[in-house]
Amino acid sequence: MVEAGLGGRELTLALANEPGLRSRGLMGVSDLGDLDGMLFTWGGATVTSRFTMRNTLIPLRIAFFDADGFVVSTADMMPCETEECPTYGASGPYVSAVEFPAGTEVDPGARLEVEATR
């Protein structure tokens, strides 16, 4: 878990910082419980990593963040149960992304500040 701040809000996020965790993401999760979402991180900037909602049970909003923690872009993603699901990527390079429950407001000028890992 990580504690983070985003636009004045405090967040508790699950962490997906390894290939297997990033690949699984929130597949099969029907309730985030006390979590505000899931933080995905890479070792550096990426533009090739895309997200899919295959086998994901709940609608999500994703926000992509640059190296300074600012929002690059967001997308609303719907669950997909077919073989060919849409993929979602950022409008530019990003180093992290957070999947939130659908409807979560993410201010385009907000900055993500990851505080601590626990």
pLDDT per position as a tens digit, 53-70: 999 999 999 999 999 999
Q: What is the pLDDT of residues 16-36, one digit of tens each?
A: 999 899 999 999 999 999 999
Q: How high is the pLDDT of residue 16?
A: 93
Is this structure's pTM higher than 0.85?
Answer: yes
Architecture of domain 2-117: Sandwich (2.60)
Distance between CA atoms of 114 and 5, rounded to whole angstroms? 6
Rounded distance, CA 62 to CA 12, Å? 15
From the list 64, 87, 62, 65, the residue with the least C-alpha distance to 76 is 62
Is the pLDDT at 118 greater than 80? The verdict is: no
Structure tokens that stand for 37 in this block? 């979402």
* Mean pLDDT to the nearest integer, 35-48: 88
